[in-house]
Amino acid sequence: MPITKSAKKALRQNIKRKARNLIYKNKIKKLLKEVRTLVLEKKIEEAKKLLPQVYKTLDKAAKVRVIKKNRANRSKSRVTKLVNKNK
């Protein structure tokens, strides 16, 4: 456990940041999984309607540095390719 005052504050900050970051990560995982299941079920139009929401979430997570910019771009590219491939 932290002993100094600054270490205690750093621990509090880390706990809050971790909770905030997990919200973004879980939302990204949920959306990507939803798109993949829609593609598997051959519901391409519904998957396409979900793409802007996926883009927005990935961009926002990259903006607040939860994930790196290149990872966001790579994920967007892969999910778009998946949807377009299964027309």
What CATH number has the domain bearing residue 36? Answer: 1.20.58.110
What is the four-CA torsion angle of 28, 54, 78, 81, rounded to 10 degrees?
150
Could you tell me the residue range of the domain that residue 32 belongs to?
9-85
Q: Domain count of the chain?
A: 1
Residue 4 lies in a domain: no
Give the pLDDT confidence of 31-84 residue by residue, as tens digits: 999 999 999 999 999 999 999 999 999 999 999 999 999 999 999 999 999 999
So what's the pLDDT on residue 86?
80
Residue 78 lies in a domain: yes
pLDDT band at 24 (very low <50, low <70, confident <90, very high): very high
What is the four-CA torsion angle of 50, 51, 53, 54, rounded to 10 degrees?
120
